[in-house]
Structure 1
Amino acid sequence: MTTPADPYGLTATRVLRAEWHKLWTVRSTWITVLTAAALLLVTAGEYATGLIRATLTAVPRRLPVLWAKAAVYTTVVFTVSLLTALLTFLTAQVFLSDTDQAASLTDDGVLAALAGNAAGVTLLGLVALGLGAGLRSVPGAIGAFVGGVLIVPEILGMLPYEAMDTAVRYFPTQAAGALGSATPMPGAAAPGAALLALLLWAAAALAVPALLLKRRDV
């Protein structure tokens, strides 16, 4: 049944896709993705310079090197991201205090969204770190990260299958977006499911270099 509200075939899926495109016009989103891509230099760069040889010689069991990189990265990035989110929120409220956009840290969902944003950025970076360690090539790892994070979800989202729309919700950036929202996002994954999806993406990205470290000479 066609209603006056949808004379041009407007659907919830098309609205969601429009909002997705608008999301990528926000500077902070690109900063997040580009920062994660830059982190590929953390591991792939070591293979390019040969520094990894000295590291693995000093730590012949190898896997502790990867876990240490992931642990240090996680601790530093999550802490910095959370503090940055808190500072940004509090600063913004100075200018929004007399508007209908005013909010407080005690409002429902605000602290969870700030923590979720930090977790999303951190886990996206872990995916990048795993790609860098697995592919051992800076250009290749950047291409895989950008392609997998940006291009593949867009292509899948255009397919006329409901299952594809559901699957796209659990891709890294979409899951990270759901984690960083103080209110439920239409068509997005629930925060718990989004966090689990990101954890699985990060674990899978790190599992590949872990296996390669056990099997390759360097």
Structure 2
Amino acid sequence: MTTLAVTPTRVLRSEWHKLWTVRSTWISLALAAALTVGIGLAIGASYESGGGDSDVDVVLMTLLGMQFTSIVIGVLGILSTAGEHSTGMVRSTMTAVPRRLPVLWSKAAVLGVVAFAVTLVTNLVTFPLVQILLSDTDKAASLGDPGVLRALVGNAAGLALLGVMALAIGSLIRSVPGSIGVLISAVMILPEVLGMLPYDVIDDAVRYFPAKALDALTQAGPAPGTASPGAALLAMALWAAATLAAAAMPLKRRDV
């Protein structure tokens, strides 16, 4: 009987099949796309020139549904790691790949690519559809306008990195409810609370937190009090790398 060697390609293929054979993947991605398109169309249909939202960036306004889709993608990332611990499937995975860390890297790569691709396609569909409703308003724009395409791609990259962060949190905490609690409270609510404090140094730091960096990536034009797109993308990448490193240490050392 021939035993196949464990290679990075085989681990990647295994994690790819594992992700797509779970029903929650299809449900989460479909829900994320539906929320983005549906909320975008609702905003476009109700928008009036000169209203209270006239100063909001057109891409950020169109993709405002990301406030919900970020949670959906985050939960998908958590389920891909913490879900395996809750079902006990992780034991089979780590038996097949005893070095363990390639599993974490492969999970992160697969989820990141899938989340980026699905979100980008959704964004490229949503923006033109919403623009049909905004064509006679002061928010009329096209994909060729300065910064628009970059913001649509930046949003997809930011959400993909947020999903990788959530995946690492799930691997670190190993509990689905606990990981979701950390994701929502620490990643999404904490920056809003810190932003209320009257200290400039805190205000400067908060703009590089994941939720704020994602907002900066989703704007076609510069906005006061936000990071530049390049700095925001770097911040998201560093947050994802840091959480993956934090998840890797206990994964390597303790029992599954």
TM value normalised by structure 1:
0.84
Amino acid at match of 1:93: Q
What is the CA–CA distance in structure 1 between the aligned matches of 2:180 and 2:214, rounded to whole Å?
A: 19
Residue 138 of structure 1 corresponds to 176
What is the CA–CA distance in structure 2 between the aligned matches of 1:194 and 1:79, rounded to whole Å?
A: 20
Residue 231 of structure 2 corresponds to 193
What is the CA–CA distance in structure 2 between the aligned matches of 1:28 and 1:204, rounded to whole Å?
A: 23
Residue 87 of structure 2 corresponds to 49
Structure 1 residue 205 corresponds to structure 2 residue 221: no
Show structure 2 runs of 5+ residues with no match.
1-55
Structure 1 residue 112 corresponds to structure 2 residue 154: no
What is the CA–CA distance in structure 1 between the aligned matches of 2:247 and 2:178, rounded to whole Å?
A: 14
1:61 aligned residue (79, 99, 105): 99
Tell me if structure 1 keeps the 8 A contact 2:73–2:115.
Answer: no
1:177 aligned residue (215, 219, 222): 215
Is the deviation greater in 108-117 or in 147-156?
147-156
What is the CA–CA distance in structure 2 between the aligned matches of 1:98 and 1:152, rounded to whole Å?
A: 38
Question: How far 1:140 sits from its partner (Å)?
Answer: 1.4
Question: How far 1:38 sits from its partner (Å)?
Answer: 4.2
Amino acid at match of 1:112: R
Residue 216 of structure 1 corresponds to 254
Is the deviation greater in 174-183 or in 138-147?
138-147
Question: How far 1:75 sits from its partner (Å)?
Answer: 1.0
2:75 aligned residue (13, 16, 37): 37
Amino acid at match of 1:107: D
Is the deviation greater in 63-72 or in 146-155?
146-155
Question: How far 1:66 sits from its partner (Å)?
Answer: 0.6
CA-to-aligned-CA distance 1:59-100 (integer Å, 9 cap, x gap)? 111111111101110111101100000000111122223333
Pairwise CA RMSD:
1.6
Residue 162 of structure 1 corresponds to 200
What is the CA–CA distance in structure 1 between the aligned matches of 2:114 and 2:189, rounded to whole Å?
A: 29
Task: Count the aligned residue pairs.
Answer: 195
TM value normalised by structure 2:
0.72
Residue 113 of structure 2 corresponds to 75
Residue 99 of structure 1 corresponds to 137
Show structure 1 runs of 5+ residues with no match.
1-18
What is the CA–CA distance in structure 2 between the aligned matches of 1:90 and 1:27, rounded to whole Å?
A: 15
Amino acid at match of 1:103: A
Tell me if structure 2 keeps the 8 A contact 1:132–1:138.
Answer: yes
Percent identity reads 57
Residue 187 of structure 2 corresponds to 149
